[in-house]
Amino acid sequence: MEKKLFVFDIDGTLLRDDKSFSQDTYDALQELKEAGHEVTIASGRSYLLAQHVIEGLDFNNYILCNGSAGFINHEQFHKELIDEVELRRFMGLCQLLDVKFALQSLDDVGIIEDFSIPSVDAFMKHLGSKGFMLDERFKEENDIYQALLFAPESIFRFFGEGNLFKKIRFARFFDMGVDVIPADVSKASAIFMMADEMGIERHNIYAFGDGENDREMLSLVHNSVAMGNAEGDLKEVATHVTETNEEDGIVRFLERQGFIPERVRA
């Protein structure tokens, strides 16, 4: 069997809704590696927020910050920082409209002025965040891979109007949160770079996801798998659809395709 690269989103895909993972999921990943395949996560999370998943599921490879950072065997091979001019323009518009934002490095999420939005605090806590680092010089002292905009759709529309931004793009990750990403970066672009580094052909990539920031990945990877809990029309753009994250959808797909042995279930 030709060597494959299996790519997994974290939230709503690898993890259950309570942010745990099943023993069957863990075992399936180890079986893929034992069969000679490569596995990686592809997440909007920073290393800080993905670390417990990387360590808990024994990942050596990982794509972070929506494709702005990539690691093979824990060594960084890809780094794409957000454009400095566009970032300053974005921050200025946020301050003009009085909307809140955070800046994301690999190892932390910082804010330059203190704020609290209950829905944002609850969502970040759900991801495992202990809160934002307040540091007026966070931008100057860190590599900024992406920003986080906290705004409802009624305010967010101002950022997309008038072609104000050329080198950044936006992807909503919950109803009050938008990822601000380098325009030419996506999970898909980082996946293809990783596959090239590993010498794996494009037709041997399998990608699993459920959220809006997985759209490019599910659209462009030849063997894409939307989870049963996938948002909106993502099931229509994927090659395959499997069961939900609560039903071990990853494991069941891998069993059906013959990549791992079938489990005995009651």
Domains of the chain are 5-79+186-256 (3.40.50.1000), 84-182 (3.30.1240.10)
pLDDT at position 85 over 70: yes
Please tell me the predicted confidence (pLDDT) of residue 156. 80
Please tell me the predicted confidence (pLDDT) of residue 143. 97
pLDDT at position 128 over 90: no
For the stretch 143-182, pLDDT in tens is 999 999 998 888 887 887 657 899 998 887 777 888 899 9
- Kind plus residue range of the DSSP H or E element containing 85: helix 84-97
Summarize the confidence of residues 95-115 as an average pLDDT: 92
Please tell me the predicted confidence (pLDDT) of residue 131. 79
Please tell me the predicted confidence (pLDDT) of residue 122. 83
Summarize the confidence of residues 193-201 as an average pLDDT: 98
* % of residues, the chain, pLDDT over 90: 77
Please tell me the predicted confidence (pLDDT) of residue 173. 76
Strand order in the sheet with 109-111: 133-134, 109-111, 100-104, 146-150, 177-182, 168-174
Please tell me the predicted confidence (pLDDT) of residue 176. 82
Please tell me the predicted confidence (pLDDT) of residue 266. 59
Please tell me the predicted confidence (pLDDT) of residue 75. 98
Q: At what angle do helices 23-34 and 249-256 cross, to 10 degrees?
A: 40
**Interstrand relation of 146-150 and 168-174 (parallel, antiparallel or unpaired):** unpaired
* % of residues, the chain, pLDDT over 70: 98
Band of the pLDDT at 265, cuts 50, 70, 90?
low
pLDDT at position 126 over 80: no
Please tell me the predicted confidence (pLDDT) of residue 114. 92
Averaged pLDDT score across all residues of the chain: 92
Give the separation between CA 14 and CA 16, rounded to whole angstroms.
7
pLDDT-wise least confident of 33-37, 178-182, 252-256: 178-182
pLDDT-wise least confident of 18-27, 145-154, 222-231: 145-154
Please tell me the predicted confidence (pLDDT) of residue 171. 82
Band of the pLDDT at 26, cuts 50, 70, 90?
very high
